[in-house]
Structure 1
Amino acid sequence: MFFHAYSILWMGGVIVSGKYTITEWQSTIYEQYIAFRKRASSCAPSTERTIRAAIFSFFSYMNANGIDALSDVRAEHLHDWHISSEHSSSRARNLYTSQLRIFFEYLSEKGLVPISLPLALSCQHAPNETVVKVLSRGQIETIETYARHAKSPMQLRDSAMLMLGLKMGMRGADIYGLKFSDISWRKQAISFIQQKTGVYIELPMPVVVGNSIYRYITEGRPASTADTVFVNHVSPDNSLRGSTSVRNAIQRIFRDDAERDFTGFHITRRTFASQMLCSGSTVPLIAAALGHARAESVAPYLSTDDENLRRCAIGCCGIEYAGRYGL
C-alpha cells in the first residue's frame, strides 16, 4: 500500500506533507526511528522535519527504482540518491545526507542492513563561512521606539517578543512557548529548557524586557486559560503553535524599510550576541548567554566587532614596496 504525501495525510501517527511516496512498512520504520531519536536525545521540531524529509526522500527513491526492501539497498543506491539530491547547495545536501547516515546506522544496529552500509554516506561538507548580519543602530532604535509607543494588543505582543530576542537573545521557538512559570519577577530572571537543544538555561531579565512583558499581560493579552505568556488574538484564544508569530512581529515593524536585508526573527539573537561582544563581554559569557555548549559557536560574531577589528590591522610602515622608476 502506497501513501502519496502530496497533501497533508495522517499516517500511523505522523502527519506528512510534501511530495514523497512511501509504503506502509516504511511509515512504520520511520515512526519507530523518530521515537528512538526522541528518547535518545532532544529533537527540536526543525530537526524532526529535516529527519523526516531525508528519510522520506530516500524511501521515495527506493520506490521509484524498484527497491522493495532495506536488505536490497546497496552502497551505489545511497551514492546515487546523494548526487541526485534536489538541493542546490552542498551544505543543504549534506545536512540531509548526515541525517540519513544516522538513520542507516540505527538500521545497522537493528540488523536490517549491513554494518558497513552507512559508510557509503559522507557526513562531511566543504566549510561554508558567511558574514553575520545584524541590525543596524537605526533599526535597533526603530524597535525600541516602537516598543515605547506600543498601544494596541498586537503592538504590545510584538514589542514584548522583540525585546526578548533583542535584549536577551532568546530564540523564536522559546519565545512563543514561554510560560508564566518560566518568569521569576522576584529574581528578575527567565528560566526555561531550550526547545532546540533541550538544555536548561536561566537568563537575567532586563527591566525593559520585564516592562514590555508586563504591559502585554496587563494591557494587551486577551483572556485565555493557556499557560503560555503569548497567545493568539483571534478565536480560539490559545497558545501559539509556530514561529510565524515571532517572524511576523519583526516583519510588521520593518514592512516599509527599503534597506531591510533580512526576513527572519533570528537576526535579533545575532544582534544581541554582537552587542555583547562589542561591549567587551568574554566569549564564554556570550556562549552561556546564548545557551551554547561550545564557545567556538561564538566565533562567527567576531566579524561584527568593527572597532576592535580595526585594532588588529597591521600597518605598512617598514614593509614599503619600491618598484621600478620609484613606484
Structure 2
Amino acid sequence: MKCIIHDQVILSRTPEGPLVDHLISFADAIAAQGYSAQSMQQQVRIAAGFSRWLKQAGVGLKDICDDHAIRYLRYRARHVKPFPADRAALRRLIDFLRSEGVVAGEKIAAHRLLPTEICAQAYTEYLRNAQALTEATVRAYLPFVREFLHHCFGDGRVTLSRLRAADVVSFVQIRARRLHLAHAKLMTTALRSFLRYVRYRGDIAQDLTSAVPVVANWSMQSIPRAISAEQTRQLLASIDRRTAVGCRDYAILVLLARLGLRACEVAFLELDDIDWRSGQLSVRGKGGRRNELPLPADVGKAIATYLQHGRPHSNSRRVFLRVEAPITGFRGSNGIITLVRNSLQRAGIDAPTKGAHQFRHGLATQMLSHGASLSEIGEVLGHRHPQTTTVYAKADIKALRTLAVPWPGGV
C-alpha cells in the first residue's frame, strides 16, 4: 500500500519502526533547505528503511546512535545497490533527530591526550577567554604552537619552566626555511604570543619573546595588485542578470567593487545589516568591529533585485545564500573567492589575481586617482591603523613623479 509522506514524497509501503512519527517533519525540513523532489524522495526512503531496520534490530528511539547508521548502511549494501548520497542522507537524518531532541547527542569516546595537546588546548582557551581573539586568529596560531611544543618536548612530559632561548631560536631557524615569508612572520607572531602566555602562567620569569628571531619581511615591498576600472566594468557586464544566480553574483561583485568589502564581510552580511530608509550598510569587519558605510544607489538596487527575484526562500538571515541544497549562507570567504574566480574565468578577464581582494585595492587606487586622501580611503576600507592605508601611496604614480629627482647629467 502506498503512503504519502509529503506532497512530493510517496513511499511504496507503509513505514514502520521508531522513526515513523518523524518522517513527515524530516521531509518538511529537507524541503525547507531547498532539496529537489528527487533528492527528497531518496532521503525519506532511506529514513523509512532505517526505521524498519531499527525495529527488526529491536533498537528504541532513545538508543539510536551513529553506530546503528553504519550498521544499517552495511546491511542495505547487501540488498540494494548503494548510492554515494546514502551516507550523507543518513547523516542528515541523524543530525535532524538530534536537533529535534529525539536522539541523544553523539558521545565522543574518551582518549588520552598527549601532554603537548593538553598544553595547546589550555593556550587555546587563554586566547579565546583572556585575549578575546577571533577563531580565525586562534586557528592560525595553534599549528605553530603545537609544532614548537613537539620540537621541545616530543611526546613526553611538557615542562614549560625548562624552555630556553636556544629552544626558541633553533625552532625558528629550522621551521622558517620551509615557509613563505608571510607564513614565517605569522609563525614568529604566534610564538611570541605563546611565550607571553607561558610567562603569564608564571612558568618562566624571563621574557623569551625577545629571543624570537626576526624574519626579514619588509612591509609595503610591493604595489597592491588592483583590478582596473575597465576590467571591473567588463566583468559586471558579463553577468547574466536574468537568472537567479546571476542576480546574486552581480550583487556580490558590485559590493566588492563599489564598497571594497572583504570577502568574509560579504559572506556574513545579514538582512538586518541593511538600513534601507537611511541608505546605510553596517559591516562587521575584523575583530567584530562595525563599520557604517553609505549604500550607493546602484549597490542597493542590485541587492534589492536579488532579494526580490533571485534569493531562495529560507529562514537564514544571511543576505546571500548558496544555490545548491542545503540552502544556507556561505560558510566563509572561500565561497566568495570561488565565485570571483569563476566569474573572471567565464568573462575571459586576465585580472592581476583570482581573488576578491583585488577589488578592494582597485577601489582604493581609483579613490586616490580622484583626489581622495589616505585617511578618507582608510575610513571607507575600515582600516584600524593609518599606516595600513599608506601602502596605496605607492600606487599614485602621478604624485610620485613629482618627487623624482632629475637624472644626473640629464638632457
TM-score bin, normalised by smaller chain = 0.7 to 0.9
Residues in 2 aligned to 1:263 and 1:206: alpha-carbon distance in whole angstroms: 25
Residues in 2 aligned to 1:167 and 1:44: alpha-carbon distance in whole angstroms: 27
Farther off after superposition, 227-236 or 70-79: 70-79
CA 126–235 in structure 1, closer or farther in 2 if over 3 Å, else same? closer
> Is 1:235 aligned to residue 235 of structure 2?
no
Aligned to 2:262: 171
Shift of 1:66: 5.7
> Is 1:94 aligned to residue 156 of structure 2?
no
Contact map agreement 1:193 1:199 (CA 8 A) in 2: yes
> Is 1:145 aligned to residue 234 of structure 2?
no
Aligned to 2:409: 320
Contact map agreement 1:54 1:100 (CA 8 A) in 2: yes
Counterpart amino acid of 2:170?
D
Residues in 2 aligned to 1:289 and 1:258: alpha-carbon distance in whole angstroms: 27
Residues in 2 aligned to 1:68 and 1:236: alpha-carbon distance in whole angstroms: 44
Instruction: Name structure 1 gaps, 5 residues minimum.
Output: 1-21, 323-327
> Is 1:254 aligned to residue 336 of structure 2?
no
> Is 1:280 aligned to residue 371 of structure 2?
yes
Counterpart amino acid of 1:173?
C
Residue by residue over 1:146-203, the C-alpha shift from the partner in whole angstroms, topping out at 9 and shown as x without a partner, is 35x4222222222111111111111111110001111101111111331x23322100
Counterpart amino acid of 1:233?
V
Aligned to 1:75: 165
Q: Could you say what secondary structure the match of 1:255 adopts?
A: helix
Counterpart amino acid of 2:159?
A
Residues in 1 aligned to 2:360 and 2:154: alpha-carbon distance in whole angstroms: 42
Contact map agreement 2:227 2:352 (CA 8 A) in 1: no
Contact map agreement 1:165 1:269 (CA 8 A) in 2: yes
Counterpart amino acid of 2:277?
R
Q: Could you say what secondary structure the match of 1:232 adopts?
A: coil
Aligned to 1:134: 226
Task: Percent identity, please.
Answer: 24
Counterpart amino acid of 1:140?
T
Contact map agreement 1:189 1:205 (CA 8 A) in 2: yes
Shift of 1:311: 4.0
Residue by residue over 1:34-57, the C-alpha shift from the partner in whole angstroms, topping out at 9 and shown as x without a partner, is 333234455344322221121122
> Is 1:51 aligned to residue 141 of structure 2?
yes
Q: Give the alignment's TM-score, normalised by structure 1.
A: 0.82
Residues in 1 aligned to 2:132 and 2:155: alpha-carbon distance in whole angstroms: 34
CA 216–40 in structure 1, closer or farther in 2 if over 3 Å, else same? farther
CA 171–45 in structure 1, closer or farther in 2 if over 3 Å, else same? farther
Residues in 2 aligned to 1:93 and 1:119: alpha-carbon distance in whole angstroms: 16
Counterpart amino acid of 1:95?
L
> Is 1:30 aligned to residue 146 of structure 2?
no
Shift of 1:132: 1.1
Contact map agreement 1:278 1:305 (CA 8 A) in 2: yes
CA 287–125 in structure 1, closer or farther in 2 if over 3 Å, else same? same
Shift of 1:308: 3.3
Counterpart amino acid of 1:263?
K
Residues in 1 aligned to 2:351 and 2:213: alpha-carbon distance in whole angstroms: 37
Residues in 2 aligned to 1:105 and 1:233: alpha-carbon distance in whole angstroms: 45
Higher Rg = 2
Q: Where do residues 104-123 of structure 1 align in structure 2 (5 Å cutoff)?
A: 104-122=195-213
Aligned to 1:226: 316
Residues in 2 aligned to 1:40 and 1:291: alpha-carbon distance in whole angstroms: 25
Counterpart amino acid of 2:123?
Y
Farther off after superposition, 54-63 or 37-46: 37-46
Q: Give the alignment's TM-score, normalised by structure 2.
A: 0.66
Residues in 2 aligned to 1:249 and 1:39: alpha-carbon distance in whole angstroms: 35
Instruction: Name structure 2 gaps, 5 residues minimum.
Output: 1-111
CA 275–172 in structure 1, closer or farther in 2 if over 3 Å, else same? same
Match of 1:298 among 389, 393, 398: 389
CA 56–191 in structure 1, closer or farther in 2 if over 3 Å, else same? same
Contact map agreement 2:181 2:215 (CA 8 A) in 1: no
Residues in 1 aligned to 2:136 and 2:354: alpha-carbon distance in whole angstroms: 18
Shift of 1:204: 0.6
Matched residue count: 297
Residues in 2 aligned to 1:32 and 1:49: alpha-carbon distance in whole angstroms: 14
Residues in 2 aligned to 1:263 and 1:46: alpha-carbon distance in whole angstroms: 22
Counterpart amino acid of 2:300?
G
Contact map agreement 2:229 2:362 (CA 8 A) in 1: no
Aligned to 1:213: 303
CA 91–240 in structure 1, closer or farther in 2 if over 3 Å, else same? closer
Shift of 1:89: 3.5
Residues in 2 aligned to 1:274 and 1:42: alpha-carbon distance in whole angstroms: 34
Residues in 2 aligned to 1:130 and 1:304: alpha-carbon distance in whole angstroms: 10
Contact map agreement 1:101 1:123 (CA 8 A) in 2: no
